[in-house]
Amino acid sequence: MVTYKGEMGLKWSYLCFGDKGLAKTTRCLYMPGVKLDSWIGNELLRVLSPCAIEAAHVAAQSHQQAATDLVRAVELELQEARYQVDLEARRYREVDPANRMVAIELERRWEAALMRVAELERRLAVMQKESTPEPTLSLAELLTLAQDFPAVWNSPHADRKLRQRLVRLLLAEVVCDIDRDRKEASLVLHWQGGRHSELRVPMRRQGQSERTATLKARQFLSENVDTLKPAVLADELNRQGERTGTGRLWTATSVRTYMLGQRLGKYGWPAETTDGVCLGEAARRLHISPTSLQHLIARGLAPVTQRYPHSPYRIPESALTNPALLQAVQEIQNSPVSLVNKSQKRNTRSPQVDAGRGA
């Protein structure tokens, strides 16, 4: 089953729902159409390359020569069988008719020889019919067609219908299956003429996308993530002609985004740290808000460490007893807008006022 989606049906998929009597909604096979057709197209270009055509031509000649030798062997066997028929016939004619037992045995041998000749004649007729060479193109013409086939297949004027006609001329059917243990798609291509070949392609894993960087770009970023800056990495990738998964030039932002997403090098998952306290814990100990503590960090009153940019802050515990930091914290607490100051004023209200309000 083929399903089309997108504008003008530019995206399609191959589905199989199995036995509808057993599973009406669960699909047993799903193959992306664009990717599957690309795999088959690459296999066609490989099979129809000039080297493959020349090798197939040599193999065909060897097969034809073997068939010719086999036909010649059967012809010699038939010639011998006919001679045996003539011999048995002469023996039957020369026997004394009165000797009935000998005559019956010679007649049986004659009939067996005739049956063997008839069987060999039928076998030879079938072999000659199968081995009769059909009008074929010369090797030079086949090589010319093989050289022109990639240009025809990859031509922008070659629409989907033309490619389908070319595939039908070469392929009888394509049997698809998925090897879930090895995460591979298994394609068995049955060619016209009885030959077949198997193609195994890795399936896209969960989280992967068709819009991904090339293998060369990924290896380059993995090897130089800790030694070069993102801007230098982007310039080097562009100089090598590499592009992003969307076909654009690399920038420092796209390099940093890729390394963060892939957790490469210093952009990887931070190791478990036990030195210092987090921002929230430090603010709780100092009795101020995390926002106020961030302002103090920005003023340089509290040293912090980070595993990588935008990662959580870690404040050494010894820095929480710094006199300059404690003085700044005291100023924040004594501020009229401080929540701590308001809470202390609320707790120091006279009981008489509270009792009067209650009355």
The per-residue pLDDT for range 55-75, each reduced to its tens digit, is: 566 666 677 777 888 888 888
Judge whether 163 lies within some domain.
no
Given pLDDT bands bounded at 50, 70 and 90, which one contains residue 233? very high
pLDDT of the residue at 236? 92
Q: Do 101 and 246 belong together in one domain?
A: no
Average pLDDT over residues 197-209: 72
Mean pLDDT of the chain: 77
The per-residue pLDDT for range 103-118, each reduced to its tens digit, is: 888 888 889 989 999 9
Judge whether 95 lies within some domain.
yes
Q: How far apart are the first and last CA of the chain?
A: 83
The answer to whether 267 and 260 are in contact (CB under 8 A) is: yes
| Spatial CA neighbour of 260 closest among 207, 220, 311 | 311
Domain count, the chain: 4
The per-residue pLDDT for range 319-344, each reduced to its tens digit, is: 888 888 888 888 888 877 655 555 55
CB atoms near residue 162 (< 10 Å)? 13
196 vs 149: which has the higher pLDDT: 196
* Listed residues 97, 130, 163: the one ending a domain: 130
Rounded Cα distance between 258 and 261, Å, is 5
The answer to whether 262 and 220 are in contact (CB under 8 A) is: no
Judge whether 282 lies within some domain.
yes
The answer to whether 267 and 225 are in contact (CB under 8 A) is: yes
Q: Do 87 and 27 belong together in one domain?
A: no
* Listed residues 100, 130, 160: the one ending a domain: 130
Under DSSP, is residue 14 helix (H, G, I), strand (E, B) or coil? Answer: strand
Q: Report residue 186 as tokens.
A: 């298994």
Judge whether 149 lies within some domain.
no
Judge whether 157 lies within some domain.
no
- The residue range of the domain holding 311 is 277-356
Judge whether 139 lies within some domain.
no
89 vs 65: which has the higher pLDDT: 89
Asked whether the predicted pLDDT for residue 90 surpasses 70, the reply is yes
| Spatial CA neighbour of 291 closest among 240, 353, 346, 339 | 339
Specify the pTM. Answer: 0.41
184 vs 49: which has the higher pLDDT: 184
How many angstroms separate the Cα of 314 from the Cα of each of 263, 293, 299, 308? 20, 12, 16, 12
Q: Do 281 and 346 belong together in one domain?
A: yes
The answer to whether 291 and 285 are in contact (CB under 8 A) is: no
Q: Do 61 and 98 belong together in one domain?
A: yes
pLDDT of the residue at 356? 47
Judge whether 117 lies within some domain.
yes
Average pLDDT over residues 290-317: 82
Q: Do 328 and 259 belong together in one domain?
A: no
The answer to whether 208 and 226 are in contact (CB under 8 A) is: no
The per-residue pLDDT for range 126-155, each reduced to its tens digit, is: 888 876 555 465 667 666 766 777 777 777
3-state percent helix, strand, coil for the chain, nearest multiple of 5: 55, 10, 30
Contacts of 177 (CB under 8 A, 6+ apart): 29, 185, 186, 188
Amino acid at 146: A
37 vs 283: which has the higher pLDDT: 283
Q: Do 56 and 124 belong together in one domain?
A: yes
Judge whether 272 lies within some domain.
no
Q: Kindly report the CA angle at 23 between 17 and 28, in degrees rounded to 5?
A: 40
Q: Do 283 and 251 belong together in one domain?
A: no
